[in-house]
Structure 1
Amino acid sequence: MNAPRQGLFASLLIISFALQTFLLVLATTYQLKENRANQGQLMTSQLVADSLQEISPPNTVSLALIANRYSSNPSVASIRILSANNDVLATSGLQQTRTGEVFSRDALQNERKIGRIEITLIKPSIGEILRTEWIAIVLSFFLHVILWLAYRVIARPSRTEYLARIHNEMRLKNEIQALTEALEQEKSASASTAENETPKAKTLDTAQLLDDGKQVILDKQVIALNIQFYDPKQLLNSVSQSVATSHFNLCQIFLNKSIALCAQHYQIPTSTISIEEEFSAQGATICMSTEKPKAATCLLMISAVFQLLSEVLYKRYREEKRFVLQTRCGVSNAVDEMQLEAPQAAAKLCQTLSAKESAIHLDHTMLKNINECYQLITLPNPTNVLTRHAFMINGMNTPCAILAQKFRTDILKGKTPPQK
């Protein structure tokens, strides 16, 4: 049972130690600079006073002795005593080749310049400062190590929290497994039903001619729901096929459960709802016949329930740092002006949306039926006939919201609608 986010806390401690060391060196450098300035001014003043009588006339021996006495200070790199003509009268210093900060002062006698004193004080390097402050740096290092060890002890989850986390993971695993088994059973049942049933012919209302003379027939009695993943960072291309397939299967399970519950609530036979494309990298598409009066309302409720499930899945997987993508939904019927069937129009409409958004493109009759349940706003920045007549879903009334949340909760709890 390790403490959570140990790596992040260790990174913060490393940054803290580096910043503290940097500030320590910076403060020491500033303090040494202040001390060096005061020392340089004081030493030049004293050296001028001591050597003033020996400069004019110049007494090089006495000046050399005076300079040697001052250069015994370990902070002095070199000393030079110059005449009024800048001739060197005496030099001294144990580290004359070392650079540092130079302090100079003129030697004045009766307000007349008779010479100049130059003292170079050693400017310590970063390494020398670190060597002088090694005790503080080592203590800081041990303090950060103690904080690291204390965090591992204090932040470590208790046995109760650890067991609760294991329980939640097992519960999630069992729910996913149960939903996967239910999906397999539904696939088997659908396959056996398809073998015994004769496919129904679609009713075709609209026929138009293209410029080349070919006839394009659009089915006006079908509406489609297209669900796509919102993946601006192209994360699907960076994960393995097994991880992506597992995510697709879970989304398909949620979609199948949403279809079953919504169809039962609105008393619509599931035979009028067909899954044209199961979940893949391009999303999923379901189509529905408009023969039933509440077909559009049912399809929009399927979209709303799936979006709620997708958001729950996204938050949970993000907390566990697992691969997950948000979704967007588009509902549309056929578009005559653009020669688009309902699935094509729904997919094209969906591409204009961002994460968690839903939009619809329906005829006037269906819009009138759903207007009381959903709050619609015009789609911003339309670019074609489809988006110009489309609406974005901005909310739903209280009964629909309660119903969608109930369906979401039932699906997450693994409840299955009774078979009729």
Structure 2
Amino acid sequence: MNAPRQGLFASLLIISFALHTCLMVLATTHQLNENRTNQGQLMTSQLVTDSIVELQPANTVSLALLANRYATNPSVASIRILDANKQVLATSGLAKTRQGEVFSRDAILNDKKVGSVEIVLIQPSIGEILRTQWLTILLSLLVHGLLFLAYRGIARPTRSEYLNRLNTEARLKHEVQQLTEALALEKSSKALAIAQAQQKIKEKFEPKTPVVAFDGNQACVALNIQFYDPKQLLNTVNKSVSIPYFNLCQIFLNKSIENCAQHFNLNPQDILIDQAFNQQGATIHIDSAHPQAAQCLVLIGSVFQLLSDVLYKRYRADKRFVLQTRCAISTEVEAMQLNAIQAAERLTHHLIAKEMALYLSHDLLKQVSGQYQLVVMPNPSNLLTRHAFMINGMGGESAGLVEQIRTEILQAKSAS
């Protein structure tokens, strides 16, 4: 059984030993600097006193002997004796290459400078200081080692304390496991409740829209409506937000189909829904054999676009999720091997928000052109877009009819 936090205590002791060694080196260096300063000043004073009589006139032999005698001091690196013109008269020293602190003093005789002396005292390095203090460092290391051993012996838990700690850890582990299981159960319960609530919302708001399978050999006119979503916002929206929004769009489309079919004396059941509103939009079609089939789909698309614009403005004001729409109406394109639904979907991709395009046969196009202003699609890229037209406006009668049907639908929705 190890003492608690034994590694941390060992780290603290290592830091303590390092700091103790650094402080000892700093203190020794400071003391040596003071001693060297006192020694340098004293030696220069003595050397000036002893050599001054030999400087006037200069006796180089006596000065050299004098310098050699002072150089026997082990702390002296080098000595120079100079005349008044800074010419070297004598030099000595056993360690002239060593770095050190320079002490100099002028020799004054009868108020006249007759020369000067320079003494360089050796400045010991950190390594030399450590070598001189090896015994102190060793004792410090021994004391820190004894402190570590003492801590291991004193702080080591008894057997009863060790067993109590094991029991406590086992109990805490069991409690954590129980808490984790409880949180997982609560999380699964919440997920189940959210899923059930979303299903209830979907069942409450989802319109009962019959979807039919399209017969590819059928001659028909198709209307495709898509969301204009250049920022790909639909991919970031939660289903609890997108599904009610799709269902509201489908309600508006169903009401547009019902009211517009009544205007043309058509049975709303003749207009079939191929794809109810989802992330890709919605698609409907009607048999081209029905009279005014194309006019009815153009009216449905125009009414729905106005309803979509009203919804967009209201939801934007409430800071709710909403997108603008675009739509296209088309018959089959034999040259591109596209049926009506495929052609309408392909054509819608070339539009932006609130735009509406048509690809119709000459006869159907002639019926529509009397009530709507058509322009050629700009920048055509294929056969479909080359022969397609965009609705750029509508006559007064058609505009009034579209406004009337839109108002009826909105009033009926508000009343419900």
The TM-score normalised by the length of structure 2 is 0.49
The TM-score normalised by the length of structure 1 is 0.48
Structure with greater helix percent: 2
Greater Cα radius of gyration, structure 1 or 2: 2
